[in-house]
Amino acid sequence: MSHIGKFILLLLFFSSFSLFAQQISENELAIIQRKDWNAQKPVMKMKSHKPEFITIHHTGMPQKPELSIEKKLQALQNFSQKDSPMADGSIKKAWADVPYHFYIATNGKIAEGREIKFQGDSNTDYNLEGHVLIVVEGDFNKEKVLPQQWESLKELIFYISSEYEISHNTISGHKDQAETSCPGNNLYQKLSQLR
């Protein structure tokens, strides 16, 4: 192949990559908005924050591909907004809203959870200020991350980091912040590929 042919191929590659990046940064990532899953209003005041970090969680529950993402978010919000029993028998105090900013379902669909301008919540003890919380559906100590979930996670991280000028070096798993097995070994071991 001639030098001109190689140059044209390189030019096409970089222009297509640039176009992809531009599409993601122009809010063209398909995110199901709160109004589209019939989110209820927060039940108490929330703390504002500036997004500075990206922290990955898993739901810790078996994947449920038969349920729509809208139903999953409604159930999560219902659980979140009241005192609810935990698997270990303890009681979780009510939160204002769903704890996570984004939810990725088994089919790869992404939904907006808590508004990103508000600090999230956690059952574990760590400073959540500045953390954008993404939860991926599944128990990744037992289940595999589905290919469509992984692709959506990569696209969502690209979008968040571009939109809010957050370095990929800030990406961590929940277990990096607190004493927990979340986001499960099968997801956690892949996080280095996102940085």
* 20-47 pLDDT tens trace: 443 444 347 999 999 999 999 999 999 9
Reported as a single tens digit per residue, the pLDDT across 143-168 is 999 999 999 999 999 999 999 999 99
In the structure, what pLDDT confidence band is assigned to residue 78 with cuts at 50, 70 and 90? very high
In total, how many domains does the chain have? 1
DSSP 109-161: -EEE-S-TTB----SS-S--TTEEEEEESS-TTTSPPPHHHHHHHHHHHHHHH
Task: Say if 181 falls within a structural domain.
Answer: yes
* 42: nearest Cα among 123, 125, 135, 115: 115
10 is a domain residue? no
Q: Report whether 137 contacts 131 (CB < 8 A).
A: no
Residue with tokens 């992809």: 20
Q: What is the residue range of 129's domain?
A: 31-194
**Cα torsion at 20, 24, 26, 31 (round to 10°)?**
150
Q: Is the pLDDT of residue 138 over 90?
A: yes
- What is the reported pLDDT for 105? 98
For position 1, what pLDDT does the model report?
53
Q: Is 164 inside any structural domain?
A: yes
Model pTM score: 0.85
Tell whether 121 is covered by a domain: yes
Percent of the chain at pLDDT exceeding 90: 79
Q: pLDDT, tens digit, for every residue of 50-66?
A: 999 999 999 999 999 99
Structure tokens that stand for 106 in this block: 């088994």
60: DSSP letter: -
Instruction: Assess if residue 189 is contained within a domain.
Output: yes
Residue 88 located in a structural domain: yes
CATH number at residue 80: 3.40.80.10
Has residue 3 been placed in a domain? no
Query: What whole-number distance in Å separates Cα of residue 176 and Cα of residue 147?
Result: 24
- Residues 6 or more apart from 176 whose CB is under 8 A from it? 55
